[in-house]
Each structure stands twice: as C-alpha cells, then as structure tokens.
Chains A and B, each alone.
Chain A
Amino acid sequence: MDFFQVLQIIIPSMIFLAAPLIFTALGGVYSERSGVVNIGLEGLMVIGAFSSVVFNLTFADTFGALTPWLSLLVAIAAGVIFSILHAVASITFKADHTVSGVALNFLAVGLSLFLVKIMYDKGETDRVAEGFHKVDIPLLKDIPVIGPLFFTDAYYTSYVAIAVAVLAWYVLFNTPFGLRLRSVGEHPMAADTMGINVTKMRYIGVLISGGFGGFGGAVFALTVTGYFGHTTISGQGFMALAAMIFGKWHPIGALGAALFFGFAQSLSIVGSGLPFFKEIPNVYLLIAPYVLTILALTGFIGRADAPKASGLHYEKGKR
C-alpha cells in the first residue's frame, strides 16, 4: 500500500469522525466566550441525538429525502430549549455553572431514555429510515490528489461543519455582536458600563451553545449510529469540551483540535493495516489518540487562557 492510498483511508475517516465534535466544540466556544462554563455539552448532544432520531422515525414517510436535514433543525431547536435550563440556573439564579452543567448531563440521559421507553416501549429506538449516506461530490471529486482525499466517500454534514466553524469565527471576531459577546465574558462590568446587557448576552451565548450541541449530537446519531440508545452518546461531549480548550476557546482552533482528534482516532484504527505501523503492537495504537492529546495539550499549544470572567457570576454594582 503506498502513501497516497494510506492518506485516502485516513483523511476521509478523520473528517467523518471529527464532524460532530466540531459542532459541539463551537457550542462550547460561544457559551464560554460569554462567560458561562458549559459542561452540559454532553447532555445537549444527547438531547440533539434523541430528538433528531425521533423526528426522523416519525416523519420519514412525510418528508422523504429531506428528513435528515429537517431532523437537524429539530435537534437545534431541542438543544436551544434544553439549554434554557442551564441559562436560567446559571445566569438568573446564579447557580454554580459546573453543577448546573452536570445536572444537565444527568437530566438529558434520564429524560431521553425515559421518553424512548414510553414512546417505543423498549430501551432504544429503531434504525432511522432516512440517514445521511456517503457521497462523492460531483466535479470536485475529479480534481487530482485533492478530489479523492477530500471529496469522495464524504458526508455533506462534514462540509457543513467546516463552513459553520468559519462562519462562527467571523461572527465572533468580526461583528459588533461577537465583540459584545466576548466582552461580557472578559469583563462584564466594563461591558455593562458601556450599555451592554450582560444577562441578555450571556443568555444568547448559552442558547447558541445549546443549538450547536444539539446539532452535533444529531450529526453523530444520523451519520454514525443510525439509532438512539443509551450508548449512542458516550463521552463525545467531553471530547468536544477538550477540543474547545485545546483550540484555546477559538472557533478555528476548535475546528483544528476536533480534526486532530479525528486524525488520531483514525490513525489508531487504520494503523494496524499500514506498512510502517504494522510492527507496533495494537495496544499502543489504541492509546495513541489519548497520548497524542496529552502531548499536544502539554507541549505544543502553550498557555490556554479561558475568558477571564468565565464561570463567574455578574452582579451589578459589585466590585
């Protein structure tokens, strides 16, 4: 197997594995940039996965091939609604952000499984009829070198993920809205003095993160597993959280980090079939993603500073 063939295996599966993480990590960025720690990303993914699968199962006959896309929208809505809980608890009632986020995680798993049990009278849903399938992008797939690597055997959602990451970066760093959002996360008092409604901005940050979390969960459910059960989302939310920190609370950084995680995971899976990795015992390949992550976090990215007011409550007039 030559090198190009190896890349042809690794790169599509890297992008495929990274897509759900990208969305969710972006959610984390928006929430934390506004000053609210959101450890509930995992729970938001669960809600997204659950609602998208249920919608898909229920309306597959009505909407046909359009169903998976509509399911994604439903998942975003569900994520936004669910994240209101976090926003109310941590912003209005000034509860500890971490505690509220953990509560979100527990609630999401319990609630969604309970509902599955009630609706379908079993522990997990059936397989969705209309999921996302692999596609070759017409025209682009014929570009030499790049075509086979990036535009064959891909999912549309992966491109959406990358496009959305760039959009998220633009909004956060090049619009007045983004500046306001960042300012309430860095120095809410100064922002308040300038007439920015801190509470409102933080609510918006959390709700956006809810939408992204739901989206990420839905993408995972519809591209990878195809059904919803208690093992569907297991730890991806926390990986997204890590990707966000790894990416220094920056949308493009988060995108890169998620792709890096995908790459490491893909390498560990594909590795044993490759000529120069064949001699390495399987166990080292399996731990490679985690070792690479630790190395990258400690060695290469330097200081990772959270937004200054992240996790702190803002009380008017308090010094």
Chain B
Amino acid sequence: MLHRHIGKDLVAFCEGELKGELANRIEEHLLVCRRCRKEYEQVLRGVFLAKHLSRPAGSTLSWSEVERAIADGHDRAGHGVFDSTRRASFSWLGLKVFAVACLTLVLIGSFLYRFGRHRSVNLDPYLSRVETGHPGESILAASPGFHAADEQAALRAAGVERVAAQPPLAGYSLVQQYVLRVDSEEAVQLGYGNGSEFFSVFVAPREVPFSFGKREIEPVELNGIQCSEVSCPRTSTVLFSAKRFHCVLVTRSKDKEALAAILRYFLSAHEAWRPS
C-alpha cells in the first residue's frame, strides 16, 4: 500500500470510521511501516485534540439588527431587499463617479509606483533562501539588493555604534555587514556568528518598511518584550522596533533567552540613539 494512500485514510482510521478489509490492511501496514506509524501517532493525537472543539457561546446577533441592516440596504438601493420584482436601473452619475474614481486610482498608483517602488525592503527572498539553505552561509549572505559595506559606517547607520564594542551575544562577533540604499535612507544587515550558530539583524529607519511577501505576522511577547513574529517554519524571524528604527532578527535558533538578549541589545541602543 502506498504511503500517500495511508496518509489520506489515517484520519478516518483514527476515528474508527474505517471498517472491514481497508481497516485491516491499514493495521497490517502500520505494523511494518515506521514512517506511517509515526504519522498515525501524530494524527491520532490531532484527532484527540480536535475533539475538544465545540461551538462557541451563542451569538448575540439579533433579528432586529439584521432587519436594520436589510433596511440600510433598502435605502441605498432605493427599493426593498425583499422586493422580488426590483429592476436594475442605470445611472449616468454613477458611471461618471466610477470613471473619476478609476482615474484617481490610476494616478495615485502611478505616483506610488514612481516614487514608492524602492521604499520597502523585501526580505521574503532572503527568508526563503535561509529556510532551505545552509544555516551559516544563507543567514550571513547578503539579502538581495544589499552590498558589502564598511563596518563602522554600517554600525553607525544601524544606530548601534555606541554599543558596538560588545556583541549582542557573548561569544559572537560581527562577521558581515551590508547596506541597501533606499532613496535617502540606508537599511543595514548585520551578520553575527560564533562558528556554529549565526544570526542576522536587519535595521532600517521607520520610514523604510520591511515587507515579507505573503508571510503572516503575529504579535508575540518574548520574555516581556513586545514584538512580532513573521511566519517562517524553520527560522525565528522577529520584527521589533524602538524610537527611530525597526529591526528584523533572523536566526535558526529557537532559544528564547538568546533571542530576547539580542532584541534588548538593539532596543537599548536605539533607545539611547542620538543623531550624530
């Protein structure tokens, strides 16, 4: 029996819904296939967990609220929502408004494209590479668009030159530094390592946003520090900010203490930062 086939049947098997020959075949296969057995254990626990789900406490939506919403629809359309004989009507004014709105959107879009296309730092390609590549090489390699830069200039642009004598974590040292010019601002990528573990911190002024493609971003609390976690299966990618800067930490480590220490390093440096 193909592993894939068993995978699809596992949920029904775990719920006791498979009978007869198919159930027997799956049982026999699970006796000899370690991979499927492991998957079976996972699904079984998942089924057990899912059975704790229930419908939430009753909706507070009342019929009168729905009636009001329907009535609002009546006023806007000019005829009853319950009017089954309503006919479509055509409005020249509506067409003109629509045309003006489209033209305005096109003009705004053109303006934003012309002046805004370099304004964000897109880290999605970098994160994709980090997820699949060698930890050290991919984390320390420059994100697309970034170029090698002078160490002091990079630290100054990152707002950490006053604390640069100490690394964010004991035993680590600054291995690479890169800069990306974004209009009149600079985004910086600082790469740290201790020979076996590596992390990069991206720093940019608040006016230069980071973008992460379609990855989800969720607020989290890391040892008391309010930040956001970017959805990356194999890395810890944390977005945080203080005063003029915001930063993105990227590492394969899941050590919360270490992550929090790195965040505190940059946050305290930025809290104390003054323009030179």
A binds B: no
Binding site for A on B (CB under 8 A): none
Binding site for B on A (CB under 8 A): none
